[in-house]
Amino acid sequence: MAGQLGFAIEPLQNRGLYSLSCLPMGGMLSRDLTVIGYHFIRECVLFMEIKYIELKTGYHDDGPAWIGHVMISKSGRTLYFNNHAFQKHNGISGNYHDIESGEEYWISGVKKDGSDRHRAGKGRIVIDRKVVEEYLKITGKTGLDEKQFLVQEIADVFPVERIRVKMNKEMADNT
pLDDT tens per residue, range 76-88:
889 999 999 999 9
Residue 53 belongs to a domain? yes
Residue 35 belongs to a domain? no
Residue 129 belongs to a domain? yes
pLDDT tens per residue, range 150-175:
999 999 898 988 998 998 998 899 88
Out of 7-16, 60-69, 84-93, 148-157, pick the least confident. 7-16
Q: What is the mean pLDDT of residues 70-98?
A: 90
Residue type, position 150, single letter = L
Measured in residues, the chain has a length of 175
Residue 25 belongs to a domain? no
Better pLDDT: 19 or 121:
121
**What pLDDT, on a 0 to 100 scale, did the predictor assign at position 42?**
42
Mean pLDDT of the chain: 78
Residue 130's SS3 state is helix
Residue 6 belongs to a domain? no
What is the number of domains present in the chain? 1
**pTM greater than the 0.85 cutoff:** no
Residue 92 belongs to a domain? yes
Residue 82 belongs to a domain? yes
Distance CA 134, CA 69 (A): 11
3-state helix, strand, coil in the chain (%, to 5): 15, 45, 40
Instruction: Evaluate whether 78 touches 113 at the Cβ level (below 8 Å).
Output: no
Q: What is the mean pLDDT of residues 9-13?
A: 41
Better pLDDT: 100 or 24:
100
**What pLDDT, on a 0 to 100 scale, did the predictor assign at position 108?**
93
Residue 26 belongs to a domain? no
Residue 52: which domain range?
A: 47-173
Give alpha helix (H) positions in the chain: 132-139, 160-173
